[in-house]
Amino acid sequence: MASESRWRGVALNVLLFIAMVAGIRAWQQRDMVSGAAPVLQGMTLSGQIYQLPAHPEQPVLVHFWASWCSICRLEQGAIDAIAQDHPNVITVAMQSGTQEEVARHMQEQGLAFPVVNDPDGRIASLWGVHAVPASFIVDTDGKARFVEVGYTTEAGIRLRLWWAGI
């Protein structure tokens, strides 16, 4: 009897935890883009003009991050590895300082993924990003097919890119 009551309590706590996580996630994603991806254009740190194609040939990972974000630092190695293997990756450094400051951060961290700097958060606002890291997978129809806020594994991102391409 006591054991059954204990398990009920554990189950209730697990359900409350799941509900709380789902609620926080829904709140973080409340304004994030779904459907047609908004315009994304700018100058990368390497001096290339970037414009998200309306109908990309392959799915595109659009990843928002910040140099001051500790969770982003945990994830940046995975983003860098994906960018090395997958040509359609663009990242946006949200409110992380000047071009020079973001470039210095990239160099210090040994990162090479393409970055458009968003010092005032205008691009992030267009995409409805309030919290970083935030990742979007834009499919070949130009639609934001997958949206994630918070830490995502490399395998999870690769799986979503693959799924958006089939």
Residue 138 neighbours by CB under 8 Å, 6+ apart: 37, 52, 56, 59, 60, 62, 144, 145, 164
Query: Within a domain: residue 23?
Result: no
What CATH number is given to the structural domain containing 100?
Answer: 3.40.30.10
Give pLDDT, residue 59: 98
Query: Within a domain: residue 24?
Result: no
Query: Within a domain: residue 10?
Result: no
pLDDT category at 16 given cuts 50, 70, 90 is confident
- Overall number of domains in the chain: 1
Q: How far is it, in rounded angstroms, from Cα 9 to Cα 31?
A: 35
- Mean pLDDT over all residues of the chain? 91
Q: How far is it, in rounded angstroms, from Cα 85 to Cα 143?
A: 22
Query: Within a domain: residue 14?
Result: no
- Does residue 27 carry a pLDDT above 80? no
Residue-range definition of the domain harbouring residue 91? 31-164
The dihedral sign for the CA sequence 43, 45, 48, 53: negative
Query: Within a domain: residue 6?
Result: no
Closest CA relative to residue 141, chosen from 18, 24, 26, 59: 59
Give pLDDT, residue 67: 97
Percent of the chain with pLDDT over 70: 89
Task: List, for residues 55-108, the tens digit of each pLDDT value.
Answer: 999 999 999 999 999 999 999 999 999 999 998 999 999 999 999 999 999 999
Closest CA relative to residue 45, chosen from 83, 85, 86: 83
Give pLDDT, residue 21: 64
Task: List, for residues 102-159, the tens digit of each pLDDT value.
Answer: 999 999 999 999 999 999 999 999 999 999 999 999 999 999 999 999 999 999 999 9
Task: Compute and round to an integer the Cα radius of gyration of the chain.
Answer: 18
In degrees, rounded to 5, the angle at the alpha carbon of residue 62 between the alpha carbons of residues 27 and 79 is 100
Give pLDDT, residue 133: 97
